[in-house]
Structure 1
Amino acid sequence: MFRFHRIANFAVKSIRPAIKCNKHDTLAIKCNKHDTLETQRYLLITHRFYSNKKKDDTTCRKTEPIKEIDKSKLNPSDCKPRDLKPCKPPESVVCDRKPVPSLQECPKPNLMSDMPKPDCAWEAAEARQRQRNRLILILGAVLAALSIGTVFFYLRQKNTPVKEKKIKKKISSKKKRTPQKIPADPREIPKDVPYLLIGGGTTAFSAFRAIKSADPLAKVLVVSSDGYYPYMRPPLSKEIWYSEDSQLTKNLEFKQWNGSQRSLFYEPEDFYTKCKDLLASPNGGVAVARGWSISHIDVVARVAYLENGDAIKYDKCLIATGATPKNLDVFEVAEGERLEQIKSVAIIGGGFLGSELACSLAHKMKDNPSLKIFQIFKESGNLGKVLPEYLSFWTTDKVKSLGVEVMSDSEVTAAVPKDGRVKLTLSNGDPLVVDQVIVAVGVKPNTQMAEKSDLEVDPDLDGFLVNTELQARSHLYIAGDSACFYDVKLGRRRVEHHDHAVISGRLAGENMTGAAKPYLHQSMFWSDLGPDVGFEAIGIVDSKLPTVGVFAKATDRDNPKALVTTTDEGLRASSEDEIPEECKKFVAKSDDAQKKALEKRKALSKPRDGEDFGKGIIFYLRDDIVVGIMLWNVFNRMQVARQVLQDEKKYDDLNEVAKLFNIHEE
């Protein structure tokens, strides 16, 4: 049963008045079996029981007020204070109930200094305990420091930048190459010009040639972040590696496939006018400020700002900033260095540049059997994004025959230095240690000035948005790799090839002089995998589209070398993969079945005896309409291809269309 005895005791302690004794009050303390201890003043405490009383219960059960005393009969002198420490009834009074303690029993304040001193030798024990705690603290700090140091060392080793210690010692004096500013004094750069070209590549060269053709007295200022005059890029991954004369390469010259010698630069240095003499030249000219860049443009005021803040006013402006090579995250912190003696090279990328470089380096080092060339890419075969699968497999076999070790369906997940070399980790976990790594995974357009210049960038294709006349504003034109233009036949596009740079630059230059022409030209591109295999293409060339290929046996005249010999010109500018019928039975859903099907399709992609993919035409279809054409080892037929695209017809038999290209002629 429940009782509230503890609650009652707490109430007594809380509300009981202090016991006093003065000349007006007397203290009467009584206690017996039936009465509780009370003061002169009334204090009623109620106890409630919920159980039967025991017969021998001697607990005070009744609380009655003490009768009031007549104060007039009291003599003040008779009131003597009693000692209330401890508060208890007189010895003569027998009470079996514990009295309620007085609130004044504990002296206040209760200080620690009033506590009694311990009897034992506590100082020595406390000193030992403090010494023990100090040792534990020191040991814990040492262990924590070692743990943090171990973790930091592991993370540092794991994320170490790709740098080679031996190379550092060998070329420690070399720094990252920065273009020299010519002229060094920005005051020599004209501050008010009729024509301003931003960028110094192929597009700018083609543009100022068109401007000078339409306006022979034109004064053109080119501001280029490159340290060189405009030069051609395509030979850098092709012909220049086939030269046996090292001095020729150092002079930035190369031999074309037919053996004729040519400079990388479009024009000699004396073709250009010095910046400080441009405005004073009576016949006009072209001046190139090398090593300088434009930070942004005020399109309303027609003012371009140099990186140092100097302003250049213009009447017409062309942005031809081109594109920058992409990089992989694992190589972002790597230093670009050149090794004189190498034994192995890894080329990352299976597109145009990666495949061309792999073939060129293999040819360059054919007399050095100790040199190994590795090509790593995530596609199933070389040029897998543009060629139909069967032709991509055939091309991969061709590249392997040149001595390149091709690693398809692979990606680089890590790169760390190891004994002066680079250790690559592939997506399948295999390691690969090489002396040098070349990253060729595409480009991204240079559109850094867009936001500050209030220019629009295409969210899907990147590049500055322009109309069919390549205009971003009435006085501002954009061409080349950085332009996203509207193709009236194929929709909005952005093209990154040499021919497009030439044609779009030429059109922009003509429009800057008042031509107002739309960009209707279908630009082409080409690639050479050495002197024996090459192709040209036009339109939308994407391996995801359905394709139809028509091939014929090649002759000695059907290769890039024969073309250059004839023309003496190496720069040729002016949906689902289609699977062969016999391969469709291998198509499956599971991973193992797909791998087996891939291997069998590779085997079936090889030409049968007496046949070859020596030359042919590949048609790329969208909604049964030809939107792209590739000429495989077929040259000087690009005008025919343009006409087929222009017609936009649905052909019942593309074999008949292929006859237009005369691929079967001997």
Structure 2
Amino acid sequence: MFRFHRIANFAVKSIRPAIKCNKHDTLETQRYLLITHRFYSNKKKDDTTCRKTEPIKEIDKSKLNPSDCKPRDLKPCKPPESVVCDRKPVPSLQECPKPNLMSDMPKPDCAWEAAEARQRQRNRLILILGAVLAALSIGTVFFYLRQKNTPVKEKKIKKKISSKKKRTPQKIPADPREIPKDVPYLLIGGGTTAFSAFRAIKSADPLAKVLVVSSDGYYPYMRPPLSKEIWYSEDSQLTKNLEFKQWNGSQRSLFYEPEDFYTKCKDLLASPNGGVAVARGWSISHIDVVARVAYLENGDAIKYDKCLIATGATPKNLDVFEVAEGERLEQIKSVAIIGGGFLGSELACSLAHKMKDNPSLKIFQIFKESGNLGKVLPEYLSFWTTDKVKSLGVEVMSDSEVTAAVPKDGRVKLTLSNGDPLVVDQVIVAVGVKPNTQMAEKSDLEVDPDLDGFLVNTELQARSHLYIAGDSACFYDVKLGRRRVEHHDHAVISGRLAGENMTGAAKPYLHQSMFWSDLGPDVGFEAIGIVDSKLPTVGVFAKATDRDNPKALVTTTDEGLRASSEDEIPEECKKFVAKSDDAQKKALEKRKALSKPRDGEDFGKGIIFYLRDDIVVGIMLWNVFNRMQVARQVLQDEKKYDDLNEVAKLFNIHEE
């Protein structure tokens, strides 16, 4: 600013000789031209010296009117009037007989303070408005780019369900004071694992007092029939009573034990014969493993001598369905099942059978694998199973994924990975489970980073007094290494072993658990060990008879609950592997064509061996039952067999 004034003064002085003013107008000009470069100071009135910046010629001071050096008649709130005339040069600053004092300045005659406040307010409003507009512009651009580069998320379906469907489990007992606060045995979780554990505890210690804390609103019940037998019942009242018919027609309840089997929570400690009490609808937030204290969700503490964590697992979901509401499976015309594993395939077959008398109902099954159970079965058997599922009336959409889901006229519009739309009434998501390990961090318990689940040793111990079993346990298998299993048989066996060890048995987990799946009453299989379609397999099949199916097994045993990966390519084979994308695509299509069943080919029953380093690590019994002990023996031997056809004879698959 100082430099600007110096340049302005220099310019005025430079053009001064060209200005000519008459004597009459000289003083009028001074009023305005001297405003911009007149020097003001705060010197005292008796100080008559003027500051001089350069030598000037002597002038006759008598001709000057001292009052003309005063800045009179100023109008600070208005700009000076422009002067354009032919006048003489105005006197310079130093020609004043005495300096101009700030105190001699006239006072402004307008309300400049109010005007300045209004101007500041306007400037502030303009600044705020500009900031808001800039933020909105940036947000709009960001939202547009994000919507453009990310898949469409599903919006919440407007169709509501009844309050009964959405209610949280009822807490029984409602008063937490009725829950015992010091128990010998505490079981966290109320599923199959906990049921098997407290049966083992009561067998070893008949007077034991066991408290089960379950977030579920029901007593322990079976899970496998929920995707199989319960859908084959034609009696709706039977289903409402949570009962089902097994394949042989015998009737059974979903609950392991009737309600009168259990002791009320408030009566548990006073019971002379002990008992099992279940606090339903309650959950444990964390455990103090040093003090042996578990804390309820409301903060109440429960002391224990021995504790079992059997929290199980929670169904996984797809991102596009995270905000979707549950729906009742009633009065529908179409349903889509997402998932091609055990649960998805079983549900597809079960729903197709249940709706066989309703030809207008359409059932779609969508999964990313090439065939049903593609992660478990060899490719040729997976394709054969897919054809079997299609024959039941299910429209199978393999090699597909759901990328978006939006509501449309009270239904759900799905967008598949190939871009095709699919509109259905209901959607069932069956894409696996994840273990419930939420209490791990706060309870100082370790979780396996690869397999998930609480880390335990071979005795299923996380601490000397704390045991973990079932789906949420990642245990050490002395034969196959560290594992985490999500099947019914494992829940039964690991729960039983944990219960026995809680009473002092100290047994290692050496049992090879099995799992099974039934695609209706005519096709079923049992498996043991590592069953992975990525492993090399050898299958030996024979013609099936009427006795080789799940229905015949249940008729014989009257029991429907059957319980008792390598990606590296060998070096010599790499030269045959397709390298380009087109070559890989053609090779895949050719392999699919060769793997598809030939006309008339029927895999009635057989044995599939899964190999790792030429050693059998997994066995699947396809429509072969009551041979699991033989399979366990083959796995235990850990031999390399020259001819697996001879091994298959041990299972008597060729018997009529």
Structure 1 residues 124, 269: CA separation in 2 closer, same or farther (over 3 Å shift)? Answer: closer
Counterpart position of 1:108:
98
The 2-side partners of 1:409 and 1:606 are apart by 15
Shift of 1:325: 0.3
Unaligned runs of 5+ in 1: 18-27
The 2-side partners of 1:263 and 1:87 are apart by 96
Structure 1 residues 55, 222: CA separation in 2 closer, same or farther (over 3 Å shift)? Answer: closer
Structure 1 residues 7, 37: CA separation in 2 closer, same or farther (over 3 Å shift)? Answer: farther
Q: Does the aligned pair in 2 maintain the 1:464–1:482 contact within 8 Å? A: yes
Q: Does the aligned pair in 2 maintain the 1:525–1:536 contact within 8 Å? A: yes
Structure 1 residues 117, 279: CA separation in 2 closer, same or farther (over 3 Å shift)? Answer: closer
Q: Which has the higher mean CA deviation after the structures are superposed, 104-113 or 351-360?
A: 104-113
Shift of 1:658: 1.2
Q: Note the aligned Cα RMSD (angstroms).
A: 9.7
- Between the aligned residues of both structures, percent identity stands at 100
Q: Does the aligned pair in 2 maintain the 1:349–1:439 contact within 8 Å? A: yes
The 2-side partners of 1:600 and 1:346 are apart by 29
Q: Does the aligned pair in 1 maintain the 2:201–2:502 contact within 8 Å? A: yes
Q: Does the aligned pair in 2 maintain the 1:164–1:418 contact within 8 Å? A: no
Q: Does the aligned pair in 1 maintain the 2:154–2:323 contact within 8 Å? A: no
String of CA shifts for 1:623-657, please: whole Å, max 9, x gaps.
11111111111111111111111111111221111
Secondary structure (helix, strand or coil) at the match of 1:571 reads coil
Q: Which has the higher mean CA deviation after the structures are superposed, 83-92 or 557-566?
A: 83-92
The 1-side partners of 2:330 and 2:82 are apart by 118
Structure 1 residues 328, 74: CA separation in 2 closer, same or farther (over 3 Å shift)? Answer: closer
Structure 1 residues 51, 283: CA separation in 2 closer, same or farther (over 3 Å shift)? Answer: closer
Q: Does the aligned pair in 2 maintain the 1:31–1:37 contact within 8 Å? A: no
Shift of 1:64: 16
Shift of 1:60: 29
Structure 1 residues 420, 99: CA separation in 2 closer, same or farther (over 3 Å shift)? Answer: same
The 1-side partners of 2:4 and 2:118 are apart by 50
String of CA shifts for 1:211-265, please: whole Å, max 9, x gaps.
0000000000000000000000000000000111111100000011111111000
**2:132 matches 1:176:** no
Structure 1 residues 34, 306: CA separation in 2 closer, same or farther (over 3 Å shift)? Answer: closer
Q: Does the aligned pair in 2 maintain the 1:161–1:333 contact within 8 Å? A: no
String of CA shifts for 1:499-521, please: whole Å, max 9, x gaps.
00000000000000000000000
Structure 1 residues 419, 99: CA separation in 2 closer, same or farther (over 3 Å shift)? Answer: same
Q: Which has the higher mean CA deviation after the structures are superposed, 65-74 or 364-373?
A: 65-74
String of CA shifts for 1:410-433, please: whole Å, max 9, x gaps.
111111100000001111111110
Q: Does the aligned pair in 1 maintain the 2:70–2:104 contact within 8 Å? A: no
Q: Does the aligned pair in 1 maintain the 2:453–2:471 contact within 8 Å? A: yes
Secondary structure (helix, strand or coil) at the match of 1:3 reads helix
The 1-side partners of 2:54 and 2:156 are apart by 107
Structure 1 residues 145, 419: CA separation in 2 closer, same or farther (over 3 Å shift)? Answer: farther
Secondary structure (helix, strand or coil) at the match of 2:14 reads helix
Q: Which has the higher mean CA deviation after the structures are superposed, 440-449 or 590-599?
A: 590-599
Shift of 1:552: 1.4
Q: Does the aligned pair in 1 maintain the 2:19–2:86 contact within 8 Å? A: no
Secondary structure (helix, strand or coil) at the match of 1:37 reads helix
Shift of 1:56: 52
The 2-side partners of 1:376 and 1:633 are apart by 25
Q: Does the aligned pair in 2 maintain the 1:32–1:94 contact within 8 Å? A: no
Shift of 1:598: 3.8
String of CA shifts for 1:253-294, please: whole Å, max 9, x gaps.
001111111100000001001111111111100000000000
**2:243 matches 1:230:** no
Shift of 1:597: 4.0
Counterpart position of 1:451:
441
The 1-side partners of 2:330 and 2:590 are apart by 42
Q: Which has the higher mean CA deviation after the structures are superposed, 346-355 or 6-15?
A: 6-15
Q: Does the aligned pair in 1 maintain the 2:155–2:324 contact within 8 Å? A: no
Structure 1 residues 127, 531: CA separation in 2 closer, same or farther (over 3 Å shift)? Answer: same
The 2-side partners of 1:290 and 1:495 are apart by 26
Secondary structure (helix, strand or coil) at the match of 1:409 reads coil
**2:11 matches 1:4:** no
The 1-side partners of 2:269 and 2:343 are apart by 41
Structure 1 residues 394, 9: CA separation in 2 closer, same or farther (over 3 Å shift)? Answer: same
Counterpart position of 1:364:
354
Secondary structure (helix, strand or coil) at the match of 1:627 reads strand
Shift of 1:603: 3.7
Structure 1 residues 74, 544: CA separation in 2 closer, same or farther (over 3 Å shift)? Answer: closer
Q: Which has the higher mean CA deviation after the structures are superposed, 479-488 or 551-560?
A: 551-560
Structure 1 residues 289, 120: CA separation in 2 closer, same or farther (over 3 Å shift)? Answer: closer
Taking structure 2 as the reference length, what is the TM-score of the superposition? 0.79
Q: Which has the higher mean CA deviation after the structures are superposed, 58-67 or 225-234?
A: 58-67
String of CA shifts for 1:373-402, please: whole Å, max 9, x gaps.
001111111111111111111111111111
Structure 1 residues 227, 131: CA separation in 2 closer, same or farther (over 3 Å shift)? Answer: closer
Structure 1 residues 110, 209: CA separation in 2 closer, same or farther (over 3 Å shift)? Answer: farther
Shift of 1:605: 2.8
**2:383 matches 1:390:** no
The 2-side partners of 1:373 and 1:437 are apart by 10
Secondary structure (helix, strand or coil) at the match of 2:538 reads strand
Shift of 1:176: 1.7
Structure 1 residues 267, 40: CA separation in 2 closer, same or farther (over 3 Å shift)? Answer: closer
Shift of 1:337: 1.8
Structure 1 residues 405, 115: CA separation in 2 closer, same or farther (over 3 Å shift)? Answer: farther
Structure 1 residues 429, 109: CA separation in 2 closer, same or farther (over 3 Å shift)? Answer: farther
Counterpart position of 1:326:
316
Structure 1 residues 257, 133: CA separation in 2 closer, same or farther (over 3 Å shift)? Answer: same
Q: 2:508 aligns with which of 500, 518, 532?
A: 518
Secondary structure (helix, strand or coil) at the match of 1:620 reads strand
Q: Does the aligned pair in 1 maintain the 2:541–2:607 contact within 8 Å? A: yes
Q: 2:110 aligns with which of 120, 133, 139?
A: 120
The 1-side partners of 2:31 and 2:125 are apart by 64
The 2-side partners of 1:613 and 1:640 are apart by 21
Shift of 1:74: 21
Structure 1 residues 107, 315: CA separation in 2 closer, same or farther (over 3 Å shift)? Answer: farther
Secondary structure (helix, strand or coil) at the match of 2:655 reads coil
The 1-side partners of 2:64 and 2:126 are apart by 74
Secondary structure (helix, strand or coil) at the match of 1:360 reads helix
Q: Does the aligned pair in 2 maintain the 1:87–1:101 contact within 8 Å? A: no
Counterpart position of 1:468:
458
Structure 1 residues 437, 125: CA separation in 2 closer, same or farther (over 3 Å shift)? Answer: same
Structure 1 residues 61, 141: CA separation in 2 closer, same or farther (over 3 Å shift)? Answer: closer
Structure 1 residues 406, 579: CA separation in 2 closer, same or farther (over 3 Å shift)? Answer: farther
Secondary structure (helix, strand or coil) at the match of 1:165 reads coil
Shift of 1:602: 3.5
String of CA shifts for 1:321-340, please: whole Å, max 9, x gaps.
00000001110011112142
Shift of 1:37: 24
Q: Which has the higher mean CA deviation after the structures are superposed, 340-349 or 35-44?
A: 35-44
Q: Which has the higher mean CA deviation after the structures are superposed, 607-616 or 399-408?
A: 607-616
Shift of 1:493: 0.4
The 2-side partners of 1:409 and 1:150 are apart by 36
Structure 1 residues 83, 600: CA separation in 2 closer, same or farther (over 3 Å shift)? Answer: closer
Counterpart position of 1:500:
490
Structure 1 residues 406, 594: CA separation in 2 closer, same or farther (over 3 Å shift)? Answer: farther
Q: Does the aligned pair in 1 maintain the 2:157–2:324 contact within 8 Å? A: no
Alignment of 1:179-328 (within 5 A): 179-328=169-318
Structure 1 residues 334, 167: CA separation in 2 closer, same or farther (over 3 Å shift)? Answer: closer
The 2-side partners of 1:127 and 1:87 are apart by 15
Shift of 1:587: 7.0
Structure 1 residues 536, 84: CA separation in 2 closer, same or farther (over 3 Å shift)? Answer: closer
The 2-side partners of 1:168 and 1:83 are apart by 77
Structure 1 residues 665, 96: CA separation in 2 closer, same or farther (over 3 Å shift)? Answer: same
The 2-side partners of 1:220 and 1:91 are apart by 102
String of CA shifts for 1:538-574, please: whole Å, max 9, x gaps.
1111111111111111111111111111111000000
Q: Which has the higher mean CA deviation after the structures are superposed, 277-286 or 74-83?
A: 74-83
Counterpart position of 2:424:
434
The 2-side partners of 1:437 and 1:485 are apart by 35
Q: Please say which structure displays the higher CA radius of gyration.
A: 1
Structure 1 residues 605, 39: CA separation in 2 closer, same or farther (over 3 Å shift)? Answer: closer
Unaligned runs of 5+ in 2: none
Structure 1 residues 63, 89: CA separation in 2 closer, same or farther (over 3 Å shift)? Answer: farther
Q: Does the aligned pair in 1 maintain the 2:151–2:404 contact within 8 Å? A: no
**2:575 matches 1:585:** yes
Secondary structure (helix, strand or coil) at the match of 1:40 reads helix
Structure 1 residues 233, 612: CA separation in 2 closer, same or farther (over 3 Å shift)? Answer: same
Q: Does the aligned pair in 2 maintain the 1:302–1:314 contact within 8 Å? A: yes
The 2-side partners of 1:292 and 1:595 are apart by 53
Q: Which has the higher mean CA deviation after the structures are superposed, 475-484 or 623-632?
A: 623-632
Taking structure 1 as the reference length, what is the TM-score of the superposition? 0.78
